[in-house]
A and B are shown apart, each in its own frame.
Chain A
C-alpha cells in the first residue's frame, strides 16, 4: 500500500471516531499544518519521477479534498450542535408582552376636514381661512344681512364689545367676503373652520365647525351648484348613488337659496345614507346675492356663482355614527381613542378617503 493510501485509511478511520472540536483541530493540523502529513506529501511532488508525478499529484489532491471535506463537515456538525445547545438554553416565553407603545389619534373633525379638502381639491377648489373673531360688517352686513334684519335672530351671536361690533363669527361665510375683497374673480374656494353660536343642548354646541364653499365665475349657474354638491356628497359618504333633494329656502346672502336634504333610512339602529324614504337636512346653499357681490366690488352683471355652507360636525356624525355632538368637544380619552383616526390615515385622492 502506498503512503498515500495508508494516510487516507488511517485518518478516515480516526475521523469516524467520536471526536470533540479540539481533537478534530488536532487532526486537521496533523494533516494540513506546516509539517502535516499531507503538506509534506505535497512538498515531495518535485522529487518524484516524472512518469509517476502526474498520477501521484492527482491521487494526493483527491485524498486531500476527501479529508478536508470530512474535517469541515465534522467541524460544522460539532459547531451547530454547540449552537443548538446554547439556543436551547436561551429560549424565552415569547408570549410575554412587547415593550409598551402609545398610539396617537387624529380627531374625527380634523379627519373630516381633510376628507372634505381632498374631495374639493380634485374639482379645483383651494382652501381659504379667516379669523374666528370677526367684525359685524363681515359677518352680517356685507352678507346682505343689515342690522335689524330678523335673520340675525337665527344667529345667537357672542359679542366681544358692548357696541356689538366685534363678535365670534356665527358662520364661515365672512371668509367669502375676505377672499373676494383680497383677490379678483374667478373664485373657487372652500373655507373650513370654527364657528360659534350661543346655543347649547344635545344637538347644539356653542362652538361647531362649518365649511363654506364659493364658486364665482362668468357663467356659473344653479346646475353647477347641484352638480358640485351631488359629487361632494357621493364622494364624502363613499357611495355610488345618492338620493338628494333641493328645496327652496332663504338666506340673506344667496338668491335663490336652497336647503339640501339627503335620503336615509335606519337599518339595525344604524343610519344608511343615500337610500330610504326619510330626509335629512345637511346643508344650505344658493346663488350668491348680487348685493353681496356689490359689497365686495365684484360686478354682478359680469360674475355670478354659488355658495354653500355645510356643518362639518354633522357630516362626521353621519358618516361615523356619532350620536352626541357635545362629545366632540368633551375630550373623553375613551371617545377620542374610539372615534379618532391613525395619523397615517391621511385622506388622499389617489388612495381614497379611507382604507
Chain B
C-alpha cells in the first residue's frame, strides 16, 4: 500500500513531521518498507515531441530521433522503440535523470557510434505501468505542455507500507489515518456527509441469484446519465501520480481514487453496453469473456460473475470485461459497489491465475457497510467532473451484515501483555479505532467496526490495545536458568555424535537440498519409489531424494571441475521413501574421491578404496559405542555400489537391520555422470537402524577388568577356497575359546604362486591370554591345535606347513 503524507492529511490533522510519521507507522504495525522521493528527480522528465526519426546508421533496430523538448535546441536521442515515429508525444529523460525503475542515472552516451542526449521512456521504465513494449504515448492534449515536467511537483515522499493480510481497512488511506489518530498521532478528520439526494429513477434492473455458493451478498449501484468523460482534473491526476499510479480517464481515476482513499473498490460500466439488466450469478462451465487486461478467460462453473442478458460482463470483485468498459465517449455510467465473499474471490482468482487490485482487497475483506459511502463519494465526483445526472441508489442484498459483538474482560489484557493500562485508556483506544464500547459490570461490551474482519475474540482486542499503546511498554522478564528435562533425546545425541565423528575423519559437512534431479536420483533410487514434487522450482529439482548420494555426487563433480582432486564430503539428513509425513529416514552419507596422498615426498600415493570407507564406518560406529567384534558384514549392497567392492554392515549377526553400506560407487554411474577421478567411494549409515544405547555412559564405565598375565602371540597361515571370507575364519577362531583368545588379526592375504588355483592363503595372528594364570607351553600347544582343528573342520581350510 503506497501513501503520501499529503494524502494522509486529507484524513488526519497533525503538526508532526514525516520522520515521526514513519516511526509511528512501524510502531503500530503498519511497517514502512520503503520511502522514495518522487519529487526532485522526476521534475526532469519532460513532455516531448518526436520531430523526425532516421534509421541508425549502424544498427537496424535503432532509430535516431530529433526531439523537441520545448527549448531552442533540438535533442538527438537514440531509441529502439518500434512506436517511435514522427509526431509522437512522449516522455523525455535528460542526462542526469534517474530512471525510476532501474535506478540508473542517465549520461550522454554513444550508442553504436551515435551520441544520444538522454532517453525516451516506456511506461514501465517510469513505473507508470507494466507496459514495456515501446515508449510512452501521450494524448494530443499534452501538446500544449511540451517542455513541461510530466510529473507534477510533489512535496511529500512516496511511502510504501507492508500491510499484513489481516488489515484490509489499512488498504485505504483513511484506515491508516484512523490507526494513527488512535495512537495519538493527530486527529481523525470527520467526513462530511455527502449523500446523494436524487429523485431520478434507477432504470437498470439488478438481481443477485440466490444459488448455492453465490459469492456476492450485496450489490449496490447507481446510474449516472449524460456524462462527458474526460481527462481528470489536475488535483486528481496529481493524487494518483503522487503514489505512482497512471491517470487514465476521469471515471476510471475516480473509482481508483475512492478505492485507495477509503478501500472501497468500485466498478464503472458503460450502461449503454449492458443488455437489459444485471444478473449476479454463478458462471456456467465453458463460459468465456474478455477481461480488461485484454485476455480471454474461459470459466469453470460456480465462479461469481456479473452478467447481462447476453452473457458475462465481468468477474465480480476481480476484473471487469472489455464489452462493458467505460471509454472517453461513454455517456451513461452504471457504478457498482458490491460485497463479494473473500473465499469465493480467492478461489476464482486462483483458478484463473488472476491478480488485481480489487481481488487483493476483496479477498482480505471489504467493509460490507461501505457500499453506499463508495457510491456517494464516487458519483458526486463524477458529477462534479463529468457532469450528468445521478439516479437513486439501488442496493440488492441476499444477506444482511450483522455487527460482531465481543464481551471483553479487561483483566485479560494484563494476563497476556504482562503490563497494565487503565480502563479509561482502554475505552479511549477502542473508541478511537471505531468500536462501540459499553461498560457492563466488570466487562466491556464491544461492537466491532464493520471494517475489521480480523477481530472476533478477546485476544484480538488485547492485540489492538498493546499495539496502539506501544510494544515498547512490554517489560523484559529475565528467563529462569533451570532445566527440568534433558535438552536432547538419545536419537538427537546420536545425531550430533555421528555428525562430529564423521567430520573428525576428514570429511567436510555439506548441507544439500532435500530434493534433487530425477536423473541423479534414479542412479541411487535402487528399488525405492520416486516421490515427485508437483510444482517444483525447476525440473532439475523435481523429486525428493531417495538417497543423499544423488546430491553429493553432483556437488563432488562440480568441485572436481573446480580443480580439486582429493575430496571428502558428507551430509547427515533426511532421505525419503514415501510421500507421507514420517516416511523418511536420517542417513549419514559420505563420499570420497581421488587419492589418499598425492605428490608426497614421504608417502606412497594410492587411490581411496573400499577399506578406507570401511574404516570410517567401523571406526565411527565403534566411537558411538558399538562392539566391532559383533559386527556382521557381507556383500549384498544396492545396485549403485560396485558389486564386488562394497559391503553391508549389521551391528550383530542377528542381521536385523542394516546399519550401513559402504563401497565403491558403481563404475557405470561414474561413466554416465562423466566424473573424472581416480576413485570414488562412499558410505551410508542409517540412523534409524542403529539401536540406541540402553545404558547411559556412566553405567558402562563402572566395571574395569584386565589381565596382567603374560600374553602370547601365535601365527597361522591357512589355505582356503577363494570364497571363504576372512570374517568366517575370524569368527571360527574366536569361537574356539572366547575367554583365552583376546585378539585376532589378519596380517596377510595371498593368492598366486605356490597356492593352488581357486584358493588363497590367509595369515592370522592370534593373541592368547588368560585372566587367571600364565599359560605354559603345553596350554598354548593345546589351544594351537584346537584352533587348527576347528578352522579346518568348519571352513575346509588347510594349515599351511
A interface residues with partner B (beta carbon < 8 Å): 96-97, 99-107, 109-110, 114, 117, 120-127, 129, 131-135, 138, 148-151, 153-154, 158-162, 166, 168, 188, 194, 196, 198-200, 206-207, 219, 221-228, 230-231, 245-250, 252, 255-259, 287, 289-290, 304, 328-334, 336-337, 340, 343-344, 346
Contact = CB atoms under 8 A, between A and B. Distances in A.
A122 B164 CA distance: 35
A222 B510 CA distance: 38
Interface stretch (B41-49, B130-138, B564-572, B646-654): B564-572
**Residue picked from A290, A336, A346, most chain B C-beta under 10 Å:** A336
Contacts of A249: 29, 31, 164
B511 A99 contact: no
B463 A159 contact: no
Given A124-B483, A222-B418, A104 B511 contact: no
A104 B568 contact: yes
Contacts of B485: 124, 126, 188
A255 B459 contact: yes
B704 interface: no
B27 A247 contact: yes
A106 B503 contact: yes
Contacts of B15: none
Q: Is the interface of B mostly helix, strand, loop or mixed?
A: loop
A106 B505 contact: no
Nearest to B162: A249
Interface in B564-586: 564, 567-570, 573-574, 576, 579-584
Contacts of B533: 158-160, 168
Interface in B498-547: 499-515, 531-537, 541, 544
12 contacts: A105-B509, A106-B499, A133-B581, A148-B343, A148-B346, A150-B165, A166-B579, A198-B537, A221-B418, A289-B459, A290-B459, A331-B558
Nearest to A111: B509
Contact of B580 (A133, A221, A252, A289): A133
Contact of B347 (A148, A166, A221): A148
B483 A121 contact: yes
A150 B364 contact: yes
A221 B416 contact: yes
Nearest to B573: A194
B415 A331 contact: no
Interface stretch (B88-96, B318-326, B331-339, B473-481): B473-481
A150 B364 CA distance: 7
Nearest to A337: B508
Interface of B: 26-29, 31, 164-167, 342-343, 346-347, 363-364, 415-419, 454, 457, 459-460, 462-463, 466-467, 471-472, 474-489, 492, 496, 499-515, 531-537, 541, 544, 551-552, 555, 558-559, 562, 564, 567-570, 573-574, 576, 579-584, 597, 600-603
A151 B343 contact: no
Contacts of B507: 104
A192 to B, nearest CB: 10
Contacts of B347: 148
A240 to B, nearest CB: 14
A99 B602 contact: yes
A97 B478 contact: no
B511 A329 contact: yes
A333 B508 contact: yes
**Residue picked from A110, A120, A231, A249, most chain B C-beta under 10 Å:** A110
Nearest to B552: A331
A100 B346 contact: no
A250 B165 contact: yes
A160 B463 contact: no
A117 B165 contact: no
A158 B513 CA distance: 13
Contacts of B535: 158-159, 198
B509 A226 contact: no
B514 A151 contact: no
Contacts of B514: 132, 168, 194, 196, 207
**Residue picked from A252, A256, A343, A344, most chain B C-beta under 10 Å:** A256
Contact of A166 (B483, B558, B580): B580
A117 B487 contact: yes
Contacts of A149: 165
B71 to A, nearest CB: 42
A345 B558 CA distance: 28
Contacts of A125: 487
A221 B496 contact: no
A222 B474 contact: yes
Contact of A122 (B483, B552, B567): B483
Nearest to B347: A148
A58 to B, nearest CB: 47
Given A117-B487, A166-B579, A331-B512, A100 B166 contact: no
Nearest to B487: A121
**Residue picked from B486, B500, B515, most chain A C-beta under 10 Å:** B500
Nearest to B603: A99
A102 B506 contact: yes
Given A133-B576, A134-B581, A109 B537 contact: no
A198 B513 CA distance: 12
